[in-house]
Amino acid sequence: MSASTASRRRREEPELRPVDALTEDEARTELASLAQEIKRHDRLYYTDAAPEISDADYDALRRRNTDIEARFPELIRTDSPTRRVGAAPAAGFAKVTHSRPMLSLENAFEEQDVRDFFAGVRNFFRRTSTEALVAEDKIEIMAEPKIDGLSIALSYRNGRLALGATRGDGTTGENVTTNLRTLDTVPEMLAGEGWPELIEVRGEVYLERAGFFALNEERAASGESVFANPRNASAGSLRQLDSAITARRPLKFFAYAWGEASAPFARTHEEALARFRDWGFSVNPRSRLCRGVDEALAYYREIAAERAELPYDIDGVVYKVNDLALQERLGMVSRAPRWAVAQKFPAQQAQTVLRDISIQVGRQGSLTPVAMLEPITVGGVVVQRATLHNEDEIQRKDVRIGDTVVVQRAGDVIPQIVSVVLDRRPKEAVPYQFPDHCPICGSLAMREPGQVARRCTGGLICAAQAVERLRHFVSRHCFDIEGLGEKHITAFWQDGLIRQPGDIFRLDPEVIAKREGWGELSARNLMTAIDERRRISLERFINALGIPQVGEATARLLARHYRSLAAWRREMEAAQDPDSEARAGLLDIHGIGEDMAADILGFFAEPHNRAVLDDLAGEVTVLDYEAPAQRTASPLAGKTIVFTGTLERMSRSEAKARAEALGANVTGSVSAKTDYIVAGADPGSKATKAAALGVTLLDEAAWLSLAGEAAG
């Protein structure tokens, strides 16, 4: 039936009763009918591209629904059209802190990497040099295609969708619930039975290629810029302030994991996926249970061969230990679980011409060469720049301006130059001379013995270093100040509005409003965004300082160990003495070696850095470290534990992971600050020292009892 025919037939139907004349029962019946009718027309328009009514008639249906709901608000349905396609949020998206972090995965690029993963699982449970609890060829793995989309968490309370959030940085995401309600594959109410009172279902929002191509054709026809790939299109579609725009795009959702759950609902990952299907979610039908590494690798080769035939983009395969009890015991390391790995497909390559080499100066003064390329599409993404790493790499590959080069892009890794096509080298091409002076401030660029990077010696007088440090300070994983990007940081620095981090919090909105490209509203919005970041977690604050070698994972280690900014600063200043207990305590943190400790202590040895900390103390509040919710009730939270000797019932690796999962700090040496020493067979001198210091000594049975009590 055509749209004109449907419109004509609708006009011939009897007039509807005025909303004011409806009884409650009539209103309830009509709202139920409207919900189904509008949902059907949404599917015909947005998904099937085959509308049966005109836009005017569709708008009339929605207005009728809205008017009835306004008169009978107590009758608003959970599947109401006003819930699925609603009004835009007033400004941006609210932040959501995930109850459990949304972890990233370690990557495997070669077959041997996958074999190493299986061996790592086996070795984690090894009790002695000759005995293992898990054999590699017996480990059950759920394997599934790695969808190239946007990670999402959906929280359901009593079976009803309560919150939908993006992954964000893994700890904090964005509330996009309104937009997610527009997806047919996101249930408003869970079906079936057996779902916990609270369950957070995680998965991927994606666009099939057909929908992506159609969307780009539509955008090109209307003069809008096109998306580079389906993943970018998915992210852009889901982050629309107007959910009606999201609804017009054929987004889909695959469920494959979960976060917080108020009660257990499965014993294996395979069983959990079956539950998701029962509850109304789409689960990738290509997921498969594999037994042992050889079956897993065979699955990878099968999916790789069929990759082009799949309706959606994938960039590899994910392997997850099937047994949830083993997953729990394996735990995580840094920001990735030990029980999962992603095997990526081989890097995609293309050839293009190297037009120039640009030198970037980082916040630590490192000079990094960047290849400026003739634009080329690699793996569905237009590439114009690629890293050349350092001057040694340029010499080793003999890369010259004007060369035809092979460009490689693997997953989300920065594109890189793989090699030069020598038979296409121009006759006039000459070897590249790496600069020995900073291109920004003109200072000498030195290369220390044993170092690969050449560094600008200009320090604080180098604008590039100053700007890069400020950019890092406000970046997503640090203070995350919206609206203060590279362009604004650079302009504010050049005009003397900011020189150090504390200046950001003293910006004058009246001065900013008078600048070119700004106004009162945009200046006020910026100051609001800045003020919202005057309270910050300790780990984000440490990361924002830009200490060499200290990124997100190390910042979290330091925050968890020292608990407060005051304690961390006090210990780092005491640790300037190489023979101090504070220095030993820093080196005792698992994951911090001599070089990293030297960089951390070097930061505190610099008077300017201490002045920056003093200045920030007057502008921001740094919150004490808070352990994740599941750790806070643990009697081991914040305790320092040392393991020594041979344990019989679990490997040392598992024991350490168990303690850290319960909020404890695991160190390698005994001191007066040690709370417990867990002694297995042949404990050695550590147990003797612990006894002398009065540290509580636990045998393996007492440790298991305490850990079980903490976990319970």
> What residues are annotated to the active site?
146
For residue 495 the two structure tokens come to 């005009």
Task: Give the residue from 384, 333, 390 showing the smallest Cα distance to 354.
Answer: 384
Name beta bridge partners: 172. 97
Cα–Cα distance for residue pair 349/415, rounded to 1 Å: 9
First to last CA, the chain: 62
Task: Give the residue from 193, 181, 194 showing the smallest Cα distance to 85.
Answer: 181
**CB neighbour burial string for 498-526, b if at least 16 within 10 angstroms, e if fewer:** bebbbbbbebebeebbeeeeeeeeebebb
User: Contact, 492 vs 609, CB < 8 A?
Assistant: no
Cα–Cα distance for residue pair 317/437, rounded to 1 Å: 45
Cα–Cα distance for residue pair 621/607, rounded to 1 Å: 21
User: Contact, 378 vs 350, CB < 8 A?
Assistant: yes
User: Contact, 636 vs 707, CB < 8 A?
Assistant: yes
For residue 21 the two structure tokens come to 């004349």
Report DSSP state, residue 370: E
Concatenating the DSSP letter of every residue in 72-120 gives -GGG--TT-HHHHS-PPPSSS--EEE-SS------EE-SHHHHHHHHHH
Angle at CA 30, nearest 5°, toward 28 and 36? 110
Q: Where are the alpha helices (DSSP H) in 534-651?
A: 538-544, 552-562, 565-574, 581-587, 594-605, 607-617, 629-632
Residue 453 φ then ψ, to 5° = -95, 140
SS (H, E, C) 651-704: CHHHHHHHHHHCCCEEECCCCCCCCEEEECECCCHHHHHHHHHCCEEECHHHHH
Residues 6+ apart with CB under 8 A from 390: 368, 369, 452, 453, 454
User: Contact, 659 vs 707, CB < 8 A?
Assistant: yes
